[in-house]
Structure 1
């Protein structure tokens, strides 16, 4: 399966590159794109594993094309897939539709892969915004083993124009690589912490210097472990439901509307207390209107708690949820919190006298 995926990825990449090989590019942008490409190569080596693969998504601009030349030496043992979508300035809807189709295909490739790095290369803020929206809609980045690198020639002092990317960059294992105007640094690698405001300054995690070396702020990791413990104690929404060993209870709380607050007694509360202490967050419960775990609907959406999760009305649910293929295509499971089994019971029947039982015993003894 991996070999088949690799062949498909490479064929997609060749088609994209040949179709845009004639694009001109200025010398200044070429130099910057080559520096970004060298930085990308080093970053992939830093985070490489034996089953790594790369998905490249680009707007096919001259700057992006220069960066994507000669993909044969890219550090991706399981293959490289290239998805090029030309930005249509006269029809934003057409660009959005084409990019959505490309990301949907990229998701299918991601599903047959093991360790994926998605690399987005664009100098167009609209394209980057459309990618962020489409990747959320198609769940391209919804698995914790998927890493995202966004390369853009935007200078560091213009980061305020990229606030539309904040949600994607902060809620996923993502880094933003931008130009730096200092005489020492070529590019700067930034990360936004989860549950921060768009105006929050990003966290510097690495830089590409003029001597062509990658300097890591938190060695040996390029991607910071930003989901282990939150430094600012955010407040998040979660969902849970009643079942035989778990019940919903309204308790007194003068700080809440109506003076009451919803809690659950059972495994959900136990798990959340451990997580909130270890990861440093507070939480409030939100119940689904239909009081169900959730099933797929005819319009492609979900009901119940799954609907709250997929619409991002809540951050997560302690469930507990059983492992299910359909759910796994929309959300990501944690490690299991308990295991249970099923047994089939049947009546033993009634004993019946057997006058020949002594013969059975004699035959067994022979």
Structure 2
């Protein structure tokens, strides 16, 4: 028998003092079948330590080769179900659905310099400006309803600009004439602005403690567009055939890179080292089955105590995963019955979750974290940039007013002369 996640343990009774064994869900299935059917078994590892791919001469490599050459009875796998493979071997009912994902290194926690815009959504900003416009219009209309002999010069303009001053937390310009409806409108507007500004200030202080972790490669297209990033794939697997035969889409674009420097091969036993070196250095990403990543990520977390890697949200080449036997194997009926029982009862899922310590800890790490630190210019430069832009715009408007006002004064003086 063969297993894709085999490892050796010390055993004085075995040749060389070491014995090949297998843990997790597949290992438990093998042990359960051994007990039910009363047989002994031995794990066998394929020479190239791969799942196997059909060669041009009609032979298979890896574990598929061991099965098709009848050197082993079955493999708990699980194997990616494919129509080409089904012509050479028999599949059990699927134990779960596998997806190809991208594994990449997470960025360092960064401050969003434009975070001061985040406490209010764009719709809230639009609602505030719309409310300001509505209040100014109502104040203007009501000002025109006052008899002309009771109006102070510039009364309408004063009421309108008072609303704007309240929004920007400025003082109000007093007028001699003050009607009750003016006090009501300004009081309601002031109350709204107090609630809004205090909520904004509270959320803004909280956001200054937030750090954002960059996860740029969520799609295969994101990786392909960056020519400086290498892609690590497993050799002699079914995905290689899909990449070479794809006619369109991101898989086709990745397939065209096979044979170039951007695509590197790494067997399953080497993926952990590749992840801790090339992927951690942000020079490569790994494109492989999620079941492999569910074993790599817990080991990395157990060593470092951190989630330094992430999985892409986009998935590719989704397919059921199942165990494999020789064609017309007498083991198949028993395996089928046991598979249905384990999957429907949820026991296989439980075995998968407890196969590795910290399983699932880093499957969806948070992209936003909070820290306690001293504020710095790197955290606030967006605010200063906005303030500088506002001052610059005000100086430009003042200069235009002086120029236009000087020209008009000159014209009036010339007419008077």
Larger proportion of strand:
1
| TM-score for both structures, normalised by structure 2 | 0.26
Which structure has more relative contact order (CA 8 Å, sep 6+)? It is 2
Higher relative helix content: 2
